[in-house]
Amino acid sequence: MKNRIYYCFPGGKFKALTLSYDDGRTQDRRLVEMFNHYGLRATFNLNSGLFDRDDKRIRPEEVKELYRGHEVACHTVTHPTIARCPLPEVANEILDDRAALEKMVGTPVRGLAYPNGSLSEEICQLLPGLGIRYGRVVGSSDTFALPEDPYRWQATCHHNHRLIENAEAFNALFKKQYLYLMYVWGHSYEFDDAGNWDLMEKFCSLVGGHDDVWYCTNIEYWDAMDDLHRLQFSADNSFVYNPNARSCFIRVNDGEPVEIPGGSLVCL
């Protein structure tokens, strides 16, 4: 009988968790420390033209070290409502932000959180040509379904929207024939405004340290999915070639996860 193949997240996991925080406020320092303590991975979306606006923002010289182990992504240079702007202006806001942030972190910057949640179909179509792999919108889906459109990527919830309820539901997921993704977004200054840092501490303690969860940044999620979809299976699913540099993981029938090392051919 022909093998049945299921994709897995890295490490053979069937659940993934990622977070996304905007604007580069000084409260990111406390948030990053908390994420690091619990082993969570996040994406931080920065406006490279606003660092010197006031003392409520992190400094350019601390970006690389502060966000080490996490992802730095675009939020445009000056945070305009881009759906109201001409496309060339939008392109400059994103490309200039990319270039400035890349000088700070020394790695390609390939993600975007739409400023003010502003987007249009034209902007979504523009992003691949600007080297942007995904665009995060605002709002909450209250689901753990994988995103279908990388340029209209909606999170499971904002941290002020049913965060603990969603975390408990995520922890309870057990059907390994599915892939699940929990995605939380927000702004770190909101914890000061609402006086609810304890909410995020409780969330981190609930979801951190689980063996069945892959903790990833936003771009790591898309890179892993792109790797999986480049796998080359034989017609009868008896072997597979991995053309990627990184390992991929799959499940064959109801067995344990199988690692397919980069550049290798594996019989299944």
Query: Which regions of the chain are under pLDDT 50?
Result: none
pLDDT digits (tens, 9 = 90+) for 125-154: 999 999 999 999 999 999 999 999 999 999
> What's the pLDDT score for residue 53?
87
Name the token pair of 63.
């970006």
Give residue-wise pLDDT tens across range 247-261.
Answer: 999 999 988 999 999
Sequence spans of domains, the chain: 14-218
Torsion of the alpha carbons at 101, 48, 23 and 215, rounded to the nearest 10? 0
Strand order across the 5-8 sheet? 5-8, 248-252, 257-260
What Rg, from alpha-carbon coordinates, does the chain have?
19
pLDDT given for residue 1 in this prediction? 80
Q: Is the model's pTM score more than 0.85?
A: yes
* The predicted structure's pLDDT at residue 114: 98
Contacts of 156 (CB under 8 A, 6+ apart): 140, 141, 142, 143, 144, 166, 170, 181, 182, 183, 184
Which tokens go with 194?
């609402």
CATH superfamily of 14-218: Glycoside hydrolase/deacetylase (3.20.20.370)
